[in-house]
Amino acid sequence: MALISSMDDIVLPSTNLYIGEVGLGGEVRGVSRIEERINEGIKLGFKKIYIPERSKISGDIGKNNLQRIKSMDSLARQTKNSK
């Protein structure tokens, strides 16, 4: 996210949380204990939580806060459009 912010000269909201691993091809991969991470992010006051597209979530955990992303490219486009 620091690279996207710097390259596009945009300030990212401090209320956003980004969870996932970035592969060499720019894909965003899942991480372990995703539900725990989401719950902790909500407790800490994050309003929008970006998670990998393929992450499996049970129930309504963070339903209103979640944004699914496939790659860094798609995240960069979303970020530019919300500018």
Q: DSSP letters of 29-59? A: EP-TTHHHHHHHHHHTT-SEEEEETT----T
The candidate with the shortest Cα–Cα distance to 62, out of 34, 21, 82, is: 34
Q: What angle do CA 52, 36, 2 make, to 5 degrees?
A: 45
Pairwise pLDDT comparison (79 vs 23), residue with the higher score: 23
Q: Considering only residues 51 and 65, tell me which one the structure prediction assigns the higher pLDDT.
A: 51
The CATH number of residue 56's host domain is 3.30.230.10
Structural domain that includes position 71: 2-81
pLDDT of res. 29 = 95
For residues 40-59, one letter each, b for 16 or more C-beta atoms within 10 angstroms of the residue's C-beta and e for the rest, the string is ebbeeebebbbbbeebeeee
Q: How far apart are CA 25 and CA 12, in angstroms?
A: 23
**pLDDT tens sequence across 6-64:** 877 888 889 999 999 999 999 999 999 999 999 999 999 999 999 999 999 887 877 78
**Structure tokens given for 14:** 């401090």
| Counted domains in the chain | 1
